[in-house]
Amino acid sequence: MNMINEYLDIAPEVQQALAEGKPVVALESTIISHGMPYPKNVETALLVEQTIRDNGAVPATIAVLGGRLKAGLSRDEIEYLGKTGRKVAKASRRDLPVLVARGADGATTVTTTMIIAHMAGINIFATGGIGGVHRGAETTMDISADLEELAQTPVMVVCAGAKSILDLGLTLEYLETKGVPVIGYGTDELPAFYTRRSGFGVDYRADSPEELASFFSAQRKLGYKGGMLVTNPIPEQYAMPKDVIDAAIEQALREAQEQGVHGKETTPFLLARVVELTGGESLESNIQLVLNNARLAARTAAAILA
């Protein structure tokens, strides 16, 4: 449902698609400003948008620019986010009111992409991996706002599972407590971002975009306020050996602790360090899994409207 908001700008192409009942897929912008180096970030963002178009939907990359909530970005705006990089604030739910009031810029996380997508009337979103419960959260209480947003905002999120830098078991427990269905696409096991398997089971399995669409449509008709998490394993040829990625993650976690990295800086630090430790191999895996999720999200968005 399109919630008219005085701070929301919907790009003309996106607005037209929504008005005509055509499929639209939301995309986040943190992956552009904080997830990859320039110019690879811009190239990837444009390639993901094109992949969504090639699969029958309209892309709506989401960000906060000059205090405006943007559902759909121009090529120049994507270039700006890519070049400005980490100077752009990483915007979670708590940050939106201040960024809007100050007329500032923000790159949207899973949380804020869901919020703005829902405002605009977009109900499906493709990303890389969601945030979750961090290792040691029983002491630090470091739990991503993504999980709370999934519990209260009715958007389907298509991802490659939770990042394996997290405590995957506790992340699934938290989602269960919040009543968020975790669906494995073509798998009974939670994928772990760079790898296809984690050892943890999902709630249900779906084997086609049409089946995913039927789950989500039923959830909406039941009046649930929350979203649905679809976990789509990275394609086999791009998956990384589990022992290699686990060793890189363990080293990155040790370094983060030694350097006192915490809060919203944790995930960008760990991912960047893992890229360095894997000789760039994890960056290529990251790109391929996002493209894979974009394809599935576009096909599912079309099936929801069919």
Residues carrying an active site annotation: 28, 163
Contacts of 220 (CB under 8 A, 6+ apart): 123, 154
One-letter amino acid at 269 equals F
Reading the block at residue 154, the tokens are 């009715």
Q: CA 267, CA 109: separation in Å to the nearest integer?
A: 11
Reading the block at residue 252, the tokens are 């990155």
Burial class (CB in 10 A: 0-12, 13-18, 19+), 8: middle
Q: Are 161 and 193 in contact (CB under 8 A)?
A: yes
258 three-class SS: helix
Q: To the nearest 10°, the Cα dihedral for 286, 207, 46, 18?
A: -140
Crossing angle of helices 75-84 and 40-54, in 10° steps, is 150
Q: To the nearest 10°, the Cα dihedral for 37, 128, 97, 11?
A: 90
